[in-house]
Amino acid sequence: MSSQVWFITGSSRGLGRALVTAALEAGDRVVATARRPDALAEAFKEYGDRVHPLALDVTRPEAAHEAVEAALARFGRIDVLVNNAGYANVSPIETSDDEDFRAQFETNFWGVHNVTKAALPTLRRQGAGTVVQISSIGGRVGGSPGIASYQAAKFAVDGFSRVLATETAPFGVRVMVVEPSGFATDWAGSSMPVHPIPDAYDATVGEMNRRVRQSTAGAAGDPRRAAEIIVRTVHRGRVPTHLPLGVNATTMAQDYSRRQLTQATAWEKVSRSADFNEPYPAQLPAEAEDSAG
C-alpha cells in the first residue's frame, strides 16, 4: 500500500508514542494528538513535515471535529484512525468516587465515540480507511478487580466497534480492536492513581494492585514490537476483527473462548427451551458440567 496518513490519539507516551514512531518508520505520515503535544514536535523533529502534532482533549466532541479538520487541512485525508487515549484508576466498585468513575468513562469510551464520529464522514467519503481501537484483553475477558470503569468502557468500545464495522463495511472502512495484555508502558505506573483500598478488598483489589504495579519483573510486552505489529497488520489488505497482543492476552483469549463454548453447550437445551416451540421444561445441567464460570 502507498503512504498512509495516521491520526493517533494519546500519542505523548506508551503505545501511542510507539505507534507514531512505527508509522513514521514505515514511511507513513502521522497526525499525533495529545492533551499537551508540545513535547511531540521535539521528539519527532527528525521526521520533518511528515508528523503533525495537535492538541486534543478527546472528551470534547467539538475538539475532535476541529482536530480532524486540522488533519485534513495538513494532509488532505485520514487513512488510519487509532483511538489510543485512555487511563485507569484503581478502586473497588463499592468505594469508588462516582465522579471519578464517570470521568474515566468519558475518556475511555466517549473519547472513542467522539473521535470516531468526527472522522467517519471523511472515511465514508474516501471510500476507504481503517479504525484501530486500542482496547485491552480485559475488554474481552474482564474480571480484573479494581478497574471496573476502565474494563466496562473497554467492553463498551468492543460493542461499539462491532456495530461500527457492520455499518461502515459498505464504505470500505475496516475496524480492528487491539487487545493487549501487560506492556512496559506507564499505564500501570504514575498514570494510574490508586485510591484507598478497604481491608475487605485487600485480597482482590489490593492483590491486583500489588501484582500488577509492584512486581519487580515488569510487564512482558514490548510496546515497540506491538506498534510495529499493528502497522504491519494495517498495511495488509485485510485485518482481523480482534488482535490480542502478548502471551497473556493470547492465552486468556483462547481460554475464555473455550470456557464460553463449554458453558453454552452445557446449557444449550435450557437456553433453547425459552422459545415457544421448544420442549419445556429442560433439565438443568449438573453443576459439575457448568464449571466454566
C-alpha separations of 101 from 106, 155, 195, 271 in Å: 9, 15, 12, 34
**Of 154, 161, 181, 201, catalytic:** 154
Cβ atoms within 10 Å, residue 207: 14
Of the candidates 80, 75, 54, the one whose C-alpha atom is nearest the C-alpha of residue 65 is 54
Q: Is the dihedral of CA 65, 67, 69, 72 positive or negative?
A: negative
**Is 154 one of the annotated active-site residues of the chain?**
yes
217 φ/ψ sector (left φ>0, alpha ψ -120 to 50, else beta): alpha
Tell me if residue 45 is catalytic. no
Of the residues 91, 150, 161, 181, only one is catalytic, namely 150
Known active-site residue 257:
no
Largest CA distance in the chain: 70
The three three-digit cell numbers of residue 63, written as one number: 475538539
- CA distance linking residue 162 with residue 156, whole number of Å: 10
Residue 183 burial (CB count, 10 A): 23
Per the CB < 8 A criterion, the answer to whether 222 and 184 are in contact is yes
The answer to whether the beta carbons of residues 227 and 18 sit under 8 Å apart is: yes
**Catalytic machinery residues:** 135, 150, 154
